[in-house]
Amino acid sequence: MTDLRTHMDGLWLPLVTPFRNGRLDQNSLRRLTRHYAAQAIDGFILGATSGEGMTLREAELERLVAIVRDEMAAGCRNVPIGLGLSGADTSRMKERLDETADWPIDFYLIASPYYVRPSQRGIVAHFEALADHAAWPLALYNIPYRCAVGITNQTMLRLAEHPNIVGLKDCSASREQSVALLRDRPKDFRVLTGEDANYLEALSDGADGGILLSAHLETATFAAVYSELKQGNADAAEARWQEVAELTRLLFTEPSPAPAKYWLWRTGLIDSPEVRLPMVEVSSELAATLDREIERRMKVAA
């Protein structure tokens, strides 16, 4: 198992889950794994928001993890795997931790309980109960615009004291909150941004990396933004960022991950752009825009 308190940094990919005719597309998943394991990424997140995890049955989620780990064991570069879990029932979440305890993962990425709008005391009690129970470490996922309630910095700092809570995917949508957390956090509590459009900004503020859907495209460039900043080359990082900044807007023009799946389908990495309801595939208007951008980037690369 990876020591996440020292190695949860850099560029992480929240891998899309390919479907075809309503089923998990195992061939495309194997192709994706081989492709991205050969890129400059530092880990995978499976079954989270970008992976449409809330539409996956337990057996599909288990198969997803097994295939990705099998492909890496078969010769791909081996990187850590985080498993996305979510739920609003603490006792059921503990059962899910038991059900996944022997899966070949490295940690869980767990969002706040959604819909029920717990107090901050409830959030603390929820995550402490899960962290006490889990066989693998936990990373928190703070995304208030999806969960209705955000995790305050006071709550975050208390949870960061737990020995089995190692970091955060930060989608607070508040730079002020993020900067304050980066200033006050324990030195071994890792913070990765999940806001694609704010990647450079977050790294400049001191974030340890990013978990970025957009990095399915131009992966090497997103990785270069991180590495240039790490080496103190702010101007070079800004220049590389300008190569991909527009992608972070384009891929969220309609609900994610449909635009990214369309792009991956058009470029041959997956066999279908299929998403599961209530997600729908991209509109014809966005498809045309994506096609033009794919063609433009292919000409530039040539």
Specify binding-site residues.
50, 211
β-bridge mates for residue 138, sequence order: 108, 165
Which residue numbers belong to the known binding site for pyruvate?
A: 50, 211
Cβ contacts of 166 within 8 Å, gap of 6 or more: 4, 5, 8, 107, 137, 138, 139, 188, 189, 190
As annotated, the active-site residues are: 141, 169
The answer to whether 127 and 155 are in contact (CB under 8 A) is: no
Q: At what angle do helices 120-133 and 90-99 cross, to 10 degrees?
A: 20
Tell me 253's DSSP state.
Answer: S
Number of neighbours of residue 177 by Cβ within 10 angstroms: 18
CA distance 208 to 190: 6
Nearest to 62, CA basis, from 79, 81, 90: 81
